[in-house]
Amino acid sequence: MLLGGAREARPEHRPFHLADYLDLVNWTGRVVRDDKRGAIADDLPPILERIGITRAAWLDLAKDLESHFCTWIGQAEHVEWVCEQGGQRCVRGIRACRRLFPS
């Protein structure tokens, strides 16, 4: 992945910090234009706040996503419910869900 730490030196292929990129994506999503289907409401907090995860936890998650999770990502209670519905007994990554997405 092309993600790096928010304070990490900028690599040549990405001439800005990840935190700056996330801010840019958030700002772009809030722009209202006639040729765009919708926009993020101004009164909504940034996405990481809405899903209840810190920037540090997001970076940890994004750096090595496939080693943390197999199929489902989210709050442990939700992941466990989905797995029960599908007849799964064991969920790889449930500890990471509890750590990264506290209830």
Q: What is the pLDDT of residue 31?
A: 86
Query: Does 6 reside within a domain?
Result: yes
The pTM (predicted TM-score) of the whole model is 0.46
Residue 97 resides in a domain: yes
Domain boundary among 31, 52, 73: 52
Q: Are residues 48 and 69 in the same domain?
A: no
Structural domain total, the chain = 2
Same domain, yes or no, for 48 and 68?
Answer: no
The Cα angle at residue 38 between residues 33 and 44, in degrees rounded to 5: 110
List of residues 6+ apart from 41 with CB closer than 8 A:
30
Task: Give the pLDDT band of residue 35 (cuts 50, 70, 90).
Answer: confident
Question: Do 47 and 6 reside in the same domain of the chain?
Answer: yes
The structure tokens listed for 81 are 């419910």
For residue 81, the enclosing domain spans 64-103
Q: What pLDDT, on the 0 to 100 scale, is given for residue 38?
A: 82
